[in-house]
Structure 1
Amino acid sequence: MKRLVSFALAIIAFCALLAVGSSQLQKSQGATSSGTLTLYNWGDYIDPALLKKFQKQTGYKVQVETFDSNEAMFTKIQQGGTNYDLAVPSEYMIEKMRKANLLVPIDHKRLKGFDNIDPYFHNLSFDSQNRYSVPYFWGTLGIIYNDQMINGSQIQHWNDLWSPKLRNNIMLVDSARDIMGMALISQGHSVNTTNIAELEQAKLKLEGLMPNVKAVVADEIKMYMAQNEAAVAVTWSGEAAEMMANNSHLHYVVPTEGSNLWFDNLVIPKTAKHYKAIYAFLNFMLEPENAAQNAEYVGYATPNKPAKALLPKAIADDKQFYPSNQVISKLQVYADLGNRMVGIYNDKFLEFKMYHK
């Protein structure tokens, strides 16, 4: 009898170990308890104080996991094994995720405050009728310059970057679509071209920029520009806002001939589990007070119209980050070009970077 009891206890102990192991595995794969919402977001892209406020109001805790590119986010969700409740992809990636059947449609009947979103951000090309996405932030690609190192009147257009006066004095953000797009626009082409000859021309033009390029970098670009490491950089509006906050000699310009207009939206991945928490969070972020607080913290432009009205006048009236309709009319939105064309853009950009070395 003792041996039988010992055997039974051993089985119970073994099952308990399996349960613990299974629990640990679920945690490592992004699974959460019913009281926790998992947000898959860009780094430092939400005010931590808002997460505490949300938990206090609703009882739901928010666990944030981060990615550093749309492509990395797409791959992680496509591979499965995660339980992300919300993610924050950009416009072209929303289109790609929808085509890959990775998104759950938004139930607009459960949303409160969607009317706070400026009508301009409704029904855009990448998501007709906002069936799959709720606008989160938007912005532009542009040029930031240091007035101690260069005269601002010399930097108003993309072609100004090719000036010999800027030799070894430009930093570029490490992004294929953005830098290839910059070159395409400077030649009068679409940022969504699938014309191989135009892409080759853009790459060759970028190679001509190389004497002026000091570095092609990622997040470090914010620190370098704030510390006067270069006179000029090509980067996104929100990154520029952070740089300017740390260096009063920096200024941001969106070239009048055109640039990229981008959108980051909240979406529900196919593997989401906690729908009550999801809609509670979406409704919380649609409240103007919360959207305004988040915009001040992050530095990007909010699509929430009443939230913009709550921002300090110096921010809301800043045409560098809330450009006029005339400027916006010249901006282009990235489309999903498919894996083959994206691969060609990446290859051309890599050839350019190797040329730099």
Structure 2
Amino acid sequence: MSKTGNRGASRRSLLTTMGAAAIGLTFTSACSQAAKPAGGAEEAKLNFYNWDTYIGETTLADFKKASGVDVNMSLFATNDELFAKLKAGNPGYDVVVPSNEFVTRMGQAGLLMPLDHAKIPNMKNIDPAFLDPDYDKGRKFSMPYTWLVLGLGYRKSKMQGVPDSWKWVFDSPQYKGRIALLSESADLMRLSAKYLGHSVNDIPPEMVKQIEAMLIRQKPYVKAFHEDDGQTLLQNKDVDIVIEYNGDIAQVMKEDDDIGFIVPKEGSLLNSDTLCIPTGAPRPDNAHKFINYLLDAQAGAEISKTILYPTPNAAAKALMPDDYRNNPVIFPPADQMAKCEYGAFEGAERAQLYEEVITRVRAA
């Protein structure tokens, strides 16, 4: 990610290093802005709730030039945080960026507005493989923004060989005190199940107990549970091995050739981050315009050049250089991808169970 100063502060701190004012952003409360002027037309504003380091350097300013709409971007760190915020009542967000299973969960909970595809003509740029996913059939509520895979980022000089298994973070003292795990509960449970030879979905009760015991046993060797800033911990040499997304590690690998990334041999968890309009969005027309703009080929390419995540936008990918399209960290080899799965939303009760397990692990 081409930015100045301290880099890669999280998944997805562009804002802290460029300065909010430099790209037309403010951090006022989303609900402090009135939705409509007296005439009834939407005001030229939009509240965007996004992950950190997850937008092009000039995307928001470019959208304002093209549309006249000023984007106010604020940040969340986990899907759990996003869900809780909207569950309590939309405070004024127009576009949000949930991951795949949370699209299902939020749609079922009535937290998302159906999209008007007629207002998103750039949908034509999406790779057909992403048009009808199980988590949102027919793209009723979401448009794909990125896809991503979790793996192990590591400092090559500190490893004893290539860390090609989840064992080294879940079930071994070998790198004690130098390990960082992802904090998101469902992801941690699913990756543990993958290590134990199971699918990331439909984890049986006895395996849930086995995972909890394993992670509690591993806890003394874990330095941090990070909220998606694992690449920063790795880059700053706070840890030597970390569970992180491929795009985040690709960002720091550009600056530090001692950093590597691998999808472990057991397989991994795929995610897709999406663009959605939450129920109660005060400016749904501007929201559709913004989503359509982000799916433009050139705008999509500019985003990909900055965030280095794999894009589902075929037209944008075609504009990208070879060192992006052929990068095995951004687009892992087919044999690795064949062992990876999307996590399905399996109900609020299961989600709550996973949160309770990881809460106990972290308290152990």
Question: 2 CA distance for matches of 1:60 and 1:134?
Answer: 20
What letter matches 2:150 in structure 1?
A: L
Q: Which moved more, 1:63-72 or 1:237-246?
A: 237-246
2:351 matched to 1:342? Answer: yes
What letter matches 1:65 in structure 2?
A: S
1:215 alignment partner in structure 2: 224
Q: Which moved more, 1:275-284 or 1:96-105?
A: 275-284
Give the counterpart of 1:156 among 158, 164, 168: 164
Question: 2 CA distance for matches of 1:257 and 1:222?
Answer: 22
1:294 alignment partner in structure 2: 303
What is the correspondence of 1:52-91 to structure 2 with a 5 Å cutoff?
Answer: 52-80=61-89, 82-91=91-100
SS of the aligned residue for 1:184 comes to helix
SS of the aligned residue for 1:68 comes to coil
What is the correspondence of 1:103-142 to structure 2 with a 5 Å cutoff?
Answer: 103-142=112-151
Q: Deviations over 1:174-223 (max 9, x none)?
A: 22122222211111122223522110111122233335323223355332
State percent identity of aligned pairs. Answer: 28
SS of the aligned residue for 1:128 comes to helix
User: 5+ unaligned residues in a row in structure 2: which ranges?
Assistant: 1-27, 37-42
Over 3 Å off, 4+ runs: 25-33, 160-165
Q: CA deviation at 1:163?
A: 4.4
1:315 alignment partner in structure 2: 324
Higher helix share: 1
Question: 1 CA distance for matches of 2:344 and 2:32?
Answer: 31
Q: CA deviation at 1:168?
A: 2.5
1:17 alignment partner in structure 2: none
Superposition TM-score, scaled by structure 1 size? 0.86
Give the counterpart of 1:245 among 254, 269, 282: 254
Q: CA deviation at 1:327?
A: 2.6
SS of the aligned residue for 1:222 comes to helix
Q: Deviations over 1:89-110 (max 9, x none)?
A: 1111110111112222111122
Cα gap change, 1:79/1:214 in structure 2, threshold over 3 Å: closer, same or farther?
A: closer
What letter matches 1:254 in structure 2?
A: V
1:6 alignment partner in structure 2: none
SS of the aligned residue for 2:65 comes to helix
Give the counterpart of 1:196 among 205, 211, 218: 205
Question: 1 CA distance for matches of 2:280 and 2:183?
Answer: 30
> Which has the higher Rg, Structure 1 or Structure 2?
1
Question: 2 CA distance for matches of 1:76 and 1:229?
Answer: 31
SS of the aligned residue for 2:93 comes to coil
CA contact (8 A) 1:36 1:62 kept: yes
Q: Deviations over 1:37-57 (max 9, x none)?
A: 221212232124111111111
Q: Which moved more, 1:184-193 or 1:208-217?
A: 208-217
Q: CA deviation at 1:271?
A: 0.9
Cα gap change, 1:285/1:265 in structure 2, threshold over 3 Å: closer, same or farther?
A: same
1:146 alignment partner in structure 2: 155
Cα gap change, 1:139/1:351 in structure 2, threshold over 3 Å: closer, same or farther?
A: same
Question: 1 CA distance for matches of 2:182 and 2:176?
Answer: 17
What letter matches 2:127 in structure 1?
A: D
What letter matches 1:307 in structure 2?
A: A
Q: CA deviation at 1:307?
A: 1.2
Superposition TM-score, scaled by structure 2 size? 0.84
Q: CA deviation at 1:318?
A: 1.1
Q: Tell me the C-alpha RMSD between the 2 structures.
A: 2.1
Q: CA deviation at 1:140?
A: 0.7
SS of the aligned residue for 1:243 comes to helix
CA contact (8 A) 1:106 1:131 kept: yes
CA contact (8 A) 2:270 2:341 kept: yes
What letter matches 1:290 in structure 2?
A: A
CA contact (8 A) 1:145 1:152 kept: no
Question: 2 CA distance for matches of 1:81 and 1:109?
Answer: 25
What letter matches 2:166 in structure 1?
A: W
SS of the aligned residue for 2:318 comes to helix
2:23 alignment partner in structure 1: none
Q: CA deviation at 1:148?
A: 1.2
SS of the aligned residue for 2:72 comes to strand
2:238 matched to 1:229? Answer: yes
SS of the aligned residue for 2:260 comes to strand
1:20 alignment partner in structure 2: none
Question: 1 CA distance for matches of 2:260 and 2:351?
Answer: 31
Question: 2 CA distance for matches of 1:157 and 1:286?
Answer: 36
Cα gap change, 1:190/1:284 in structure 2, threshold over 3 Å: closer, same or farther?
A: same
Question: 2 CA distance for matches of 1:81 and 1:264?
Answer: 20
User: 5+ unaligned residues in a row in structure 1: which ranges?
Assistant: 1-24
SS of the aligned residue for 2:174 comes to helix
